[in-house]
Amino acid sequence: MKKNKIKNVLNIIRFGIYSIPIINYIYKNNIKEDLKYYILLLKSKWKRDFNSAIKYANKVISTTTTTILRELARFELISLYVKNNQFELAKKECKYLRDNFNNISEYARNLMIPGLKLLNTKYNILDKEFKAYSDNYVQNNVDKAILKYSQARDYIKKEDYNKAYELFIEGYNLAKKFLHPTMMCNGLNGAAWWIRNEDKKKALIAADLLEYYIGYYFEDLEYIYNWLDTVFEVRRINNDVKAFDTANTIIQLNKDGRIKIKKTFYNFIPEVSATDYKIDNELKNFILKYNDLKIRKGIIKSKTIMKFINSYNIKYTSRKPYAIRNEYYKIYQKKLFGISVEKF
């Protein structure tokens, strides 16, 4: 197989899942078995069918006579083993790759270095790092972003979360230049998650931006669940009523129950049409903090809760009883509707 043809394919697949229409065309019009296996490997990985991807990676390794394709398949195999929690197999392949790294072309090394560094930093696969052999591998913005994320994880180990935040944001900005949605979301997710306990307001900036890109590019819950969980947690600790929206998105996307999600999300299901609430001990005790009323267990009207909120100037927090939080969410929705009407 001509090296230039492989390079052209590799330049296309840098766009990740968004390159599928083009690689489908290449697959249909290509007679080389090893390249077909490599394309099937990538498509299986993007579908998160890791077992099939592992099968195709091994087929590439066993059938190709092209060093670039074989070692890139091995690189994917290492990542897939990690995703499948098969760390011993990952270590074995990673050690082989590192020990033979100087026999691989500079072009292939430059493609693999950032990802290998990130995997090794995150999972401690090897006790030695990969030598770059050249400085060219930092020229691509996506590769630069991966290296920024790798550096950020080094600072996480040192518990310097502010520096890690900066590096994650730098990586996000680099990925944005290349318009790589997954890489962008990975950076924003890392930034928001690791700074949340140090500076929750900074975390909220990254989380709001993360939600925007998730909504724009993705809808597969299995792929985006961890990102949405970050958005939810950051909003929850910031007492942001939009935590209701995030929880509702997760629950709606998981109607088939395919993913086991946290029970906390079910405490933030919005009920905009709710007209009354059951008085449980939590709600009863909360109201009694402000007003020594004779409250019996039973039903309380929505308008009564709203009057109570206004009379005592109750502020929204994520820890308040559901009835209080849901009434605040209804206020928030009315404000959004009003803004939309004004703009229209």
Tens of pLDDT, residues 183-204? 899 999 999 999 999 999 999 9
Q: Is residue 302 over pLDDT 90?
A: yes
Instruction: Report the pLDDT value the prediction gives residue 317, as an integer from 0 to 100.
Output: 96
- SS3 track for 159-189: CCHHHHHHHHHHHHHHHHHHCCHHHHHHHHH
The residue among 59 and 217 whose pLDDT is bigger is 59
List the one residue out of 157, 144, 184, 152 whose CA is nearest residue 168. 152
152-185 tens-digit pLDDT: 999 999 999 999 999 999 999 998 887 778 889 9
Of the pLDDT bands very low, low, confident and very high (cuts 50, 70, 90), residue 17 is low
Q: Is residue 116 over pLDDT 80?
A: no
Instruction: Report the pLDDT value the prediction gives residue 129, as an integer from 0 to 100.
Output: 54
> Is the Cβ–Cβ distance between 193 and 156 less than 8 Å?
no
> For the residues of 292-312, what is the DSSP string, one character each?
-----SSEEEHHHHHHHHHHT
Of the pLDDT bands very low, low, confident and very high (cuts 50, 70, 90), residue 340 is very low
Rg (CA), the chain: 25
Find all residues with CB under 8 Å of 54, minimum gap 6, and list them.
77, 80, 81, 84
pLDDT-wise least confident of 137-141, 275-279, 330-334: 137-141
Find all residues with CB under 8 Å of 14, minimum gap 6, and list them.
140, 142, 178, 180
Find all residues with CB under 8 Å of 59, minimum gap 6, and list them.
37, 41
CB atoms inside a 10 Å sphere around CB 332? 18
The residue among 13 and 148 whose pLDDT is bigger is 148
Of the pLDDT bands very low, low, confident and very high (cuts 50, 70, 90), residue 132 is very low
Instruction: Report the pLDDT value the prediction gives residue 176, as an integer from 0 to 100.
Output: 86
CA distances from 240 to 28, 233, 320 (A): 49, 10, 12
